[in-house]
Amino acid sequence: MRMITYCDALNEAMIQEMERDNSIFVYGIGVSDHKRIFDSTRNILEKFGHERCFETPLAEDSMTGFALGAAINGLRPIHIHIRMDFLLLAMNQIVNMISSFSYGCVGKRSVPLVIRVVIGRGWGQGFQHSKSMHATFAHIPGLKVVLPTSPSDAKGLLIAAIRDNNPVIFIEHRWLYWQKGEVQEKIYEIPIGKGNIVRKGKDLTIVATSWMNIEALHAAKILSYHGVEIEIIDIRTICPLDEQIIIESAKKTKHLIVADNDWIYCGFSSEVAAIVSEKCFGHLKAPVKRIGFAQVPCPTARHLENKFYPNAETIVKEVEQMLGLSKIDLSSESFYSHENRFKGPF
C-alpha cells in the first residue's frame, strides 16, 4: 500500500474515473490555471484536453445551471469551487433546480453531478472566505453531502460520488490536503452514508466532521495519557447520515460530544444531539455537548480567529468537564500547527 496525500488521492480518483468514463468532465474557476485547485486538478488538462477540463467566468449561478443541463443529458460533470463562499452564489440553481429536478420528473431523469468545494482556514481568511455550511446543504432534500477526512476516504468517496446518479456536495478542508495515508492504487468506492470508527474507546464518544477528526485524534492521544479512552467516529457523510453507528457508540460509552467544523446554532451538531436524545436518552450519563464555531462571522485578526475555531485543546477541556476530570496540564502541547504549512494562493 502506498502513502500519498489527500490532494493526490483526489487527483488520482478523478483521473482514473475520467479514463474509465469519457462522459466525465471537470470545470470551474482555477481548475486549469497554474494553481490547479491546490494542485488537486494537476495533469488533467494535459491528459484530457480543453473539452474535458476548462476554466469558467465569474458566473457561478449560470455555470451551475450548465452542470444541470449537462447532467440530465447524459454527462457527468464535476464542478469545483475553490471556496465554499463562492458556491453560495449558485444557491438558486442548487436549491431550486438541481436538488429537486429528479423529484419533479418523477425519477425519469437523474442528476449525476458532483460539486467539489474547499473549506478551511489559513492566513486570516476572515468572514468572506471561511464558511463550511454543510448543514445548510444537508437541510435540502435531494442533495447528498460528503466530508472525507482521510486520503483513503477522499479517493473512495469521490469515486462513489462521481458514479452516483444524484447531486453530491463534496466538501474538502484545505488543511487536509497535506495529510498522508495509505491509499490503494486500484479503483475502489466507499459507500456514501457510512460512518467510520477511527479510534475505539470506552469512556466517551466524539462524533466529528472533516478537520475536527484530526483535532479529536490529537485530544484523544493527550487524554489517553491520563487514562481516558475516547471513541472517535468520522461521520464522513452527513446526508445520508449513519445514525446507527452514533447510537451504538453513545449507548456503549454513555457520553457524547459532537465536534463540528461549522457554526453550532441550528447546525449538524444540533441534529446529532436531537437523534441521540430521542434514541439513547436512558443510556446517557450527561447531556450531549456540542463544539463548533462561535456564533459570529469569522474574525481576521489572528488572536480572535484562534478563539473562533475550536481545536484539540477545546475538546480536552470539554471532556474534562463532562467526565469530571482534574485539569490536565497542556503547556507542553502544540496546537494549530498546520497553519504554518499554508503557502497560499490566498
Amino acid at the residue 194:
K
Contact 114, 158 (CB under 8 A): yes
Amino acid at the residue 42:
R
* 129 annotated active-site: yes
> If you write DSSP's letter for every residue of 136-193 in order, what string do you get?
HHHTSTT-EEE---SHHHHHHHHHHHHH-SS-EEEEEEGGGGG-EEEE-SS-----TT
SS3 281: helix
- Helical ranges in the chain per DSSP H: 6-20, 36-39, 44-48, 60-71, 84-87, 91, 101-104, 134-138, 151-163, 212-224, 243-253, 268-280, 302-308, 312-323
Burial of residue 275, with CB atoms counted within 10 A of its CB: 0-12 exposed, 13-18 middle, 19 or more buried: middle
Burial of residue 182, with CB atoms counted within 10 A of its CB: 0-12 exposed, 13-18 middle, 19 or more buried: exposed
Contact 198, 174 (CB under 8 A): no
Smallest CA-to-CA distance from 135 within 262, 277, 310, 235 is with 262
- Report d(CA 340, CA 278) in Å as an integer: 42
Active-site residue among 34, 50, 81, 129? 129
Catalytic residues: 129
